């Protein structure tokens, strides 16, 4: 007959009845709870982005919230603190050879274009984040555009570069996040408005993530709404400008996405005040609406829309110009959605994006090959593609470090960051504890339990836990006597992280009778 054996390790805690362990003064039974296991490691959150950029306003309870990292849990909460979208202005003038968008009115061709400094991307980026599964995020507003006719985006605002030599100056922009521990993703959608200067911002983002050690950057491609051309194009410019440092701490996505035109509330008020509609609209009823005292200012747009096809075409042309949007906010939402439903070790790919009509540029499988693998720079770009019946799918899960066999994949890097941060948080409690075998055993047990649980969930590769990781700590194993004298406790953890099945090969055997 087998003997059942229950050890102290079978329970998270047990009760020890004291007889002589302590000196008691009153006759009674004294019970003390004693834990036989070390404290467990809590897994940190993995998809809490921090957005940095320009907003309509920035205030909380009547006080300025500029250059403060505020956490919001919904788009409505974001709007209560930071307001809504920027209302851009368009020029409408006789066509020139430089005009990209044109419209014919009568016998005259006109060029329609945004006036300078008319794009601010943060609001829509946050909106896309929540629309695609995002749950909570931090927002750092570096400037406001309420009551302004333009948004002048500046590199210094976004990065938080010091404007003076005063050491006590409060951090701004990206630097506001240095002392905020919770964010694990960094996104600066307004950077694309700076074109060539955007690359300096991207390099700082990658460096920031490397220094913080717990976060990952999602980057947009400047001019990513343009198709790739022979010679210099937006992909080549991005690869040349991004540099070579800390590439595993970020991922980039191409192309931009066309959002639905009805999401932009445009009207005649979005035309440059210098544009005279009464000279442009040929329809008699439209002229009546413009000159009638019976039509209020609030209803002029509706009156013109219902009476003038020319006016409708002008508004539709304006909306077409605004359609392409950088995808980083939506991608952050996908990260959050996949992390919460499957885990950070699942590649945030083969998932459909919501709120968009189509990618701004159609990509073929052959074109994606040169995005994913570049023989010169080794910098991978993830594709966003439209598939019939499935919508827009994220069709790639690589970091920028395409030549790095260890950190080539987004889920591998982010899982490693999660394990590192979770373990680091746990180890804080052992500062100033005795550097002896008892402490080492407690650490090894807790870290092993944490990794076994991740292995059970599918985060680690291997048929057995011992095939998936190892945990080493102790004298003669990771430390020398000199290390102990110097107060060093060295923990070494090895991981076999699961990589995504990026290439699936099918082999068919046909038997001929």
Whole-number pLDDT of residue 452 = 95
**First vs last Cα of the chain: how many Å apart?**
60
The radius of gyration computed from the CA coordinates of the chain, to the nearest angstrom, equals 29
Could you tell me which residue, 374 or 407, shows the higher pLDDT?
407
In this structure, what DSSP letter does residue 174 have? G
Which tens digits make up the pLDDT trace of 43-78? 999 999 999 999 999 999 889 999 999 999 999 999
Reference 242, options 224, 257, 226, 221; nearest CA is 221
Q: What integer best gives the mean pLDDT of the chain?
A: 88
CATH of domain 49-83+120-256+326-411: 3.40.50
Nearest of 124, 134, 127, 96 to residue 112 by alpha carbon? 96
Q: pLDDT tens digit string along 341-392?
A: 999 999 999 999 999 999 999 998 888 888 888 878 889 999 999 999 999 9
Per-residue model confidence (pLDDT) at position 17: 43
Look at residue 32 in the predicted model and tell me its pLDDT.
67
Q: Supply the DSSP symbol for 341.
A: H
The predicted pLDDT at position 1 comes to 41
Q: What is the pLDDT of residue 9?
A: 38
pTM above 0.95, yes or no: no
Domain range list for the chain: 49-83+120-256+326-411, 263-322, 422-495
Q: Identify whether 255 is preceded by a cis peptide bond (ω within 30 of 0).
A: yes
**Tens-digit pLDDT profile for residues 185-194:** 999 999 999 9
What lies within 8 Å, CB to CB, of 20 at 6+ separation is none
């Amino acid at each position: 007959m087998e003997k059942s054996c229950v050890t102290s390790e079978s329970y998270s805690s047990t009760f020890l009845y004291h007889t002589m362990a302590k000196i008691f003064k009153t006759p009674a039974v004294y019970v003390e709870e004693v834990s036989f296991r070390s404290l467990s490691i809590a897994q940190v959150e993995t998809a809490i982005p921090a957005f940095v950029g320009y907003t309509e306003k920035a205030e909380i309870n009547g006080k300025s919230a500029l250059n403060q990292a505020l956490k919001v849990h919904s788009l409505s909460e974001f709007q209560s603190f930071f307001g809504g979208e920027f209302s851009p202005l368009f020029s409408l003038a006789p066509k020139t050879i430089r005009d990209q968008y044109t419209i014919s009115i009568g016998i005259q061709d006109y060029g329609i274009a945004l006036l300078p400094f008319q794009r601010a991307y943060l609001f829509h980026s946050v909106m896309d984040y929540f629309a695609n599964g995002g749950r909570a995020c931090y927002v750092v507003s570096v400037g406001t555009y309420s009551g302004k006719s333009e948004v002048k985006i500046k590199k210094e605002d976004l990065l938080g570069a010091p404007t003076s030599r005063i050491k006590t100056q409060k951090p701004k922009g990206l630097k506001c996040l240095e002392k905020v521990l919770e964010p694990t993703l960094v996104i600066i959608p307004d950077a694309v408005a700076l074109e060539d200067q955007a690359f300096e911002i991207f390099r700082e983002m990658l460096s920031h993530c490397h220094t913080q050690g717990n976060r990952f950057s999602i980057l947009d491609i400047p001019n990513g709404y343009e198709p790739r051309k022979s010679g210099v194009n937006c992909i080549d410019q991005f690869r040349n400008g991004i540099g070579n440092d800390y590439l595993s701490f970020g991922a980039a996505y191409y192309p931009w996405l066309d959002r639905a035109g009805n999401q932009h509330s445009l009207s005649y008020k979005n035309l440059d005040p210098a544009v005279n509609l009464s000279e442009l609209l040929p329809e008699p009823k439209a002229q009546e609406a413009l000159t009638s005292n019976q039509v209020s200012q609030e209803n002029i747009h509706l009156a013109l829309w219902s009476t003038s096809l020319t006016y409708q075409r002008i508004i539709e042309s304006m909306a077409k110009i605004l359609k392409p949007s950088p995808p980083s906010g939506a991608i952050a939402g996908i990260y959050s959605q996949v992390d919460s439903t499957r885990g950070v070790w699942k590649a945030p790919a083969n998932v459909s994006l919501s709120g968009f009509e189509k990618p701004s540029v159609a990509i073929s499988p052959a074109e994606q090959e040169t995005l994913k693998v570049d023989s010169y720079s080794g910098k991978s770009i993830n594709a966003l593609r439209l598939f019939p019946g499935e919508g827009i799918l994220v069709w790639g899960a690589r970091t920028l470090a395409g030549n790095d066999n260890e950190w080539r994949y987004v889920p591998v890097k982010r899982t490693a960051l999660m394990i590192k941060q979770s373990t680091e948080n746990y180890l804080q409690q052992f500062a100033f504890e005795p550097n002896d075998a008892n402490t080492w055993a407690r650490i090894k047990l807790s870290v092993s339990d944490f990794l076994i649980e991740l292995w059970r969930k599918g985060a680690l590769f291997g048929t057995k836990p011992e095939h998936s990781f190892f945990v080493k700590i102790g004298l003669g194993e990771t430390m020398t006597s000199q290390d102990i004298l110097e107060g060093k406790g060295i923990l070494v953890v090895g991981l076999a992280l699961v990589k995504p099945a990026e290439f699936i090969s099918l082999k068919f055997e046909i038997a001929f009778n």
